[in-house]
Structure formats: C-alpha cells, structure tokens
Structure 1
C-alpha cells in the first residue's frame, strides 16, 4: 500500500526540479513529512471498517496538494499576491505564470497533485486553459457552493466581485474533479448557454478547433441529456473591460489605465 510519506516525499523531490523553471511555489510546508507520517500511523491503527468509511468521508486523506497564495492557511504567510511578477519566469512560459498562475504550472508540471485556487473572472479557468489542465469554477451566485472564508482580499466594498468570487480546484485529469469537489446535480434541469465569440478588442477570437469543441459539448448535452443549448451574444461585450473598470474602480488608477 502506498504510504502518505512516500507520496509527499516524491512530490517534494519533483517540486525541487520543476520549481527552478516555473517559479510557482512561494512557501514550503516544512512539516509536510511529519504530517504525512501521522496520517500513515492513523491508517495503520484503523480497522478495515473505519478505513472504508474514511475513503468515503475523506478520500484525500494524506494526499499532498498546493493552495493559492491569497488563501489564508494557519501557520503560513498570506501574501495576497501583491508583488506582481517580481520574479517572472522565463519568457516562454511567463504568459501562464502570473499571480494566479502558480497553481496552474505546478499542477501541469506534476509538481502538485492538485491545487486550490479562487476565481472571479477566470483566475482558475484561465490558468487551467493556458496550461492544458482542468479547472472548475463552482456556482457562486446566489449562494456559494463552497465557502469563501479565508480568501483575500474580501471585496466587501464591491458587491459584484464578492458575488462572483468562489474557490475551485485545478487538476491534471478531469476524472479527478469529483474527488476534490462532489455534488449531486440533475443535468436535465440545467440552463445551458454558450458563446462562440466574445468580440473583445483585447482578446483574440476563437480558433476553429476551439469553436468545434464548444459545438461538440453543446451537441453532447442536447443529445445525451436533452438539454437545449442557447447561443447568446452580448452587444456591449466589446466594451466589457472598460465598463467593468468604470463600474467597480471609478476612484482608482485602473480607469486611467483602461
């Protein structure tokens, strides 16, 4: 049986290799091996029935993972990612490694089994897309699927951001997502909308391969689950970036930059 200590040690060694290139890790958990040994000891002293129960209630018991630097964790410094690109990675990968991209590159390079990030307008989904992994932004409005306690900043003075903010997992394989976050869902009751082009000046349009994949997903839901997908277009989408800045940051330098 694979032990937690062996798994943690393997990922520590892997991190030493990949982090020299991707620069995605900001802090080490110096007690990781000690905690892993405790997990192994607990498992060794459990009955078979308790182990089976643990597999259902805590399927990731003893499994190492990484957390975005703006999520509060006891015993760690929460940087809030304020030092923007002070230690930028090499140019060929810098597009994927920004303040929100550390989780993306660590998971993609097998430096982490999975990561926990947070997302308002794409901070889980975009690093996942850019690094060829899977990221999920759970439902955040009107009620958060996952509590957002411990995320900094809290956006208490900007309601739209606080409503859209949510935590989400990043994984190498889509099949790992249910292990990180499981929820029962009646797909037949979903309202499905899709876009084929944002028409935003600061964003490149979709390539044919991307558009075809969107259509494949649409056809899957319509055929497999009888969910009618509705194509939508937003007339003012090409001004969305400017409108967002003017609405939420009218007193900041953000508007002047836009």
Structure 2
C-alpha cells in the first residue's frame, strides 16, 4: 500500500510542526539532566510495600502479618505520594480497613489448611486499585467526563467482582484520560496525573492512574482496560508490568465507555502489577471460566520458545523514530536471551507494521459483520445526549469555556473526517498482517517489539505526536496477547520497556518470558531510588 499525496503532505507538516512546538517547549521548560528528590516520589521504606501480591496473600494466610497491617501500610503510602502524583482520585480507606479486619477474623477462625484457603482465596487481603472507568461499587464512574462527575457505581464490574471474590481488597479508583481515548491521563474532573519517576512526565493513558499508583508502591495490583495500548503504555511509562490478554477472554462488562460495534473485538481488560509472578494468578482470576482456554498452569520451557524481534515499525511517516536507548535496551535483551537460553532471536521485517496507524484507524471506525458501527465519540462526549459539535467545543476551549479536554475535542474532529469504510487495500494489509503474525508465532513464538517510540514524554507533548500510540494499538486489532515488561531505567532515570507478543491463547508464553526478563533486568525499580 502506498501513501496518498495528501497523507504524505499531512505527515510532513505534522513532523515540522512537532519539531517547532517541541523546540519551543524545550526552550520554555528546559530539560533537567536527571530527576532529583524534588520532582519524584520518595522511596518506599515499609517492607510490606515491596512484596508481590502472591507473597502478601501467603503471609496473611499464614498469619505472619495481619491484613489490617498490610492495608494500613498501603493507605499510608498513598497518603504520602498521592499529593504529588494525583493517581488515586477517590479512596475507600475506611471500608478497606473494615474488610481487612474481616479477613483477619476469617484467617483466625479458619479450620481448613493453608492449601484449601489458598484455593478459595488466592488473593486474600491483597490491596487492589481500580481504574475509575471500571465500576467499583460506591465509587465514581465518570471516565473523566464532567457531565458524569456525580455518577456513582451501584455494582461492581465483572472483573472487580472476580478479584474481590478471590480476596482482594480495593483501596480506591484511579485517574484516566477523558473517555479513555488519549495517552495522557488528564481530565477536567480530576486534573492531571504525574509520573512518579519525574513529575514533569506523563503517566500514559488511559489507565495512567493505575500504572502510576502501582509504580509508586501505592498499590500492588490493579485493573486497567486497553483498546489502543491503555494498559501497556501506562505500564511502560511507569516501569511496571501490564498484560493485554487474548481478545474475548477477560469480561469487559461494567465499564464506561464500553465498546460497541467492531470495537468489541479490540477492547481488553487486564492486570497491571509491579511483580511478574502476579501476572498469571491475576489473569487466571480475571478470566473466570475462560481461563481454561489459556492453560496458564502449563509449564513453559523458554529454551524451546522461538523468539523474533523488530526494533521499529519500518519507518511510518506518522510515528516518531524509536529512541536510541529503547533500541539499545531491546538489543541487550536479545543478547541476554541468546546467552542465557541458548536460543537464536530472529530479526524480522514485517512491512505491514509501517501502516499500523492507518489499519487501526480504519478498523476502529468500520462496521462489524452485522453492519453496526461503534457509538460515535462525539456522542459519548455528550453522554448519550446530543452529540457534541467539536468545532464549537474547540472555540469554547480557546476561550476557556469548554468542559472537554483538547485531546477529546481533537479526536471528535478527527472522527468527522474519518471514513467508516476501510479501503480494500487496507483490508488486504490487515488480513496479511494477521496471517503473517499467526504464521510467525505459531504455538511456540514470542515477538519482541517496542512498547512506544519515546521514553515517558513531558506533559502535553503527546499533543504533537498523537499517533505514537500505534506501537501498542496495532495488537488490539490483531487481538493478540501482549505483556509490557520493564527493562531498567534510561540515562535520565526514566523507565525503559518492551512488548512481548504471543499468539492467541498463548498468554502463558509472554508471561513466562516476562518472568525471565524481570530476573535478567531487575523488573520494577523504586522511583525514590532511581
């Protein structure tokens, strides 16, 4: 497929404007050489904050620590870091402490052995945070939309219910971008969230509050949703693990906005966490009965896995070049895999990735097999009332009168220009990419691919690079499971990362690889010690 003359012109103009605006931003707000103690969160000193969810549940079951003590440690941590990062937008601390007390009574009175208790409550007493767009009973559910700021959830989303049933204790809900369709978590209900490694950097979106509070050691496990990278980008920018499951495995019911039309096939709900050993247990619980399709208990021998790698998308005009430090980190991972496992990582070039943005945009605005299109974004902005007029909102925004954020208005404008019928050429490219990835990965393949072309950008910078999300977004179209895995820190002390992609229902392969990478590269790093 070739780019049209209009697309080429637009892409060149966008790059020129990006350079101009970023130069102005750099002049007005000069880069610091390295984050210091004044612009990042403090170190997590309580040892309870440095244990995985699996380890915390084990200690609580064995009465080595009380659940009340664990929950209070996390409450204290949130109270310490949240004034800086603005990740938790509504807490339920009093209820969480009451539930923790009930957990301690249950453990004290339980006559069954530890194994039986673990089978019943694998996450017994483990602190949990939840993206505000996902329903948690008694908590707000605005998705950053001003007209919904007083909406309160009267029941739990399906995944929340499953995790609570497994024993997890929710601490509160976390910030997101307006209507979950932008990769900086900022809205006119709760304001902007800040990166714990450097407060002048973004946390990503739309599950940015989740990535941020988990990375800040204010939560150990969290729930996010992902239709274009909304789990994986926050996990990348904040240096934690995030998993987008195989499409259709984890229930999406109980979030606003929920997918409709063809977007049902692209939206995933999944976990974020600081420690890789929590990924499989979380996914098993969140998938419910569908977990059987994933064979998560099956042992993975990484020496028998076939690894493939691409360090960039092939040079799309719409997307920034991949940062050199990310490329170097990916090559370091390849060297470690080959040295430690005795495997050969095959470098591949898949030309369709160059057109990932065009594919994602076309498929998101297409119609499904029944001829139904997704609900319009301008309709969602109107919260099921009259659709918003984006040009009018843009004028109001310029005058400081709009209730909507600039990215949301921009997306509304873009929606008006987007065709609802993908070209035959794009459909062919989409089908070719699906076939190639299915052939490449088979039943034993893992694909290494950048999580994003840039290391955690400064606030507002995504406005000038709006298509960079596509490094994650393309895998929503393909439906493949992907684990974002931290790869240490950059020279500026900001998180590096990589996407690990496997074939449908082979989530266990990318998760097993993530556990290896955590051992090889150190996993999550305490922002206060970065």
Q: After TM superposition, is the score higher than 0.5?
A: yes
Q: Deviations over 1:114-161 (max 9, x none)?
A: 111122221111111111111111211xxx23222223322122x1x3
Matched, 1:233 2:346: no
Matched, 1:133 2:240: yes
Question: For the structure 1 residues 171 and 99, does the alpha-carbon distance in structure 2 shift closer, same or farther, using more than 3 Å as the test?
Answer: same
Matched, 1:2 2:106: no
Paired position in structure 2 for 1:205: 322
Paired position in structure 2 for 1:123: 230
Query: d(CA) in 2 for partners of 1:253 and 1:191?
Result: 43
Query: d(CA) in 1 for partners of 2:299 and 2:116?
Result: 26
Give structure 2 stretches of 5+ with no counterpart: 1-63, 147-177, 179-185, 285-295, 367-375, 377-411, 419-465, 467-530
Question: For the structure 1 residues 127 and 241, does the alpha-carbon distance in structure 2 shift closer, same or farther, using more than 3 Å as the test?
Answer: same
Match of 2:109 among 21, 45, 52: 45
Larger radius of gyration between Structure 1 and Structure 2: 2
Q: Deviations over 1:32-73 (max 9, x none)?
A: 111111111111100142x32122342211111101111112
Query: d(CA) in 2 for partners of 1:221 and 1:156?
Result: 45
Paired position in structure 2 for 1:174: 276
* Cα RMSD (Å): 3.1
Query: d(CA) in 2 for partners of 1:148 and 1:220?
Result: 40
| Greater RCO, CA 8 A, separation 6+ | 2
- TM-score for the superposition, normalised by structure 2: 0.42
Query: d(CA) in 2 for partners of 1:95 and 1:54?
Result: 40
What's the CA shift for 1:242?
Answer: 4.0
- TM-score for the superposition, normalised by structure 1: 0.81
Match of 2:334 among 211, 215, 231: 215
- Paired residue secondary structure (2:117): helix
| Cα pair 2:193 2:208 within 8 Å, conserved | no
Matched, 1:154 2:154: no
- Paired residue secondary structure (2:127): coil
Query: d(CA) in 1 for partners of 2:259 and 2:339?
Result: 37
Greater Cα offset, 212-221 or 116-125? 212-221
Q: Which has a greater percent of helix?
A: 2
Greater Cα offset, 28-37 or 78-87? 78-87
Paired position in structure 1 for 2:414: 254
